[in-house]
Amino acid sequence: MARFDRLMVYQTMMAGGLVPLFYSPDLDISKKVVAALAAGGCRVLEFTNRGDFAHEVFGELVKYCAKAHPDMILGVGTVEDPATAALYMGLGANFVVAPSLNADVARACNRRKVGYMPGCATVSEIGQAEELGCEVVKLFPAETLGGADFVKAVLAPRPWTRLMPSGGVSPDEPNLRAWFTAGVACVGMGSKLIRSDWLKSGDFAAIESLTREVLATIQKVRQ
């Protein structure tokens, strides 16, 4: 069962502006990533469902967060069907993210009052997601779709839409400024924040430092 209210989850995502996404089959590494993100000031993590027994790692990570980092909001990504969504919600997922839109997943999440952020690539998909109750819609693959210019084009006639681009978001200020100036609600960031070379070398301090820097940059470019 989710520990955090759906509205609180959305508000936390939009307040910080950053939703890191990450996967590892190693529970110890996953715990250290959570600790680094938390130390860097981030309160949200999307753990992606991308490997065998990923749900087992996720379940243990939820327990770890509840004890060691009680303010960390842990959700799941790469969820394509309602059965997978139900599995992760049963393990404590506070939100569900997907690369595509699935109405049955939306309904499953709504029944449990868990936020669902499906990947959408057209205005029609975004509209359908909103009809299904999605408060924040993942724009994916964001860079391929036209980047910040696409966001501006969508929000011009639909200013109520909240978009979270994923794919093509980087930690540098010009990139973040372009997205937030265009009007995104928050951004998803994976390997450019939680870098594979840092994971291999065990440099979790670098992840902490970059997380802090990215959050500060987001607040700067929003002003």
Active site residue 138: yes
- Active-site annotation holder among 31, 46, 135, 208: 46
Contact residues for 182 (Cβ-Cβ < 8 A; gap 6+):
148, 149, 151, 152, 155
Q: Which of 56, 63, 135, 138 is catalytic?
A: 138
Bridge-partner residues for 44, per DSSP? 73
Residue 69 is inside which H or E element, if any? none
**Structure-token pair, residue 12:** 């936390």
d(CA 187, CA 140): 11
d(CA 27, CA 58): 8
Instruction: Give the integer Cα–Cα distance in Å for 221 and 96.
Output: 27
**Do 53 and 23 touch, CB atoms closer than 8 A?**
no
**Quick one: which of 35, 200, 201, 180 has its CA closest to 214?**
180
Catalytic residue check, 125: no
- SS3 state of residue 43: coil
Q: Could you tell me how far CA 178 lies from the centroid of its own chain?
A: 19
Q: Which residues are catalytic?
A: 46, 138
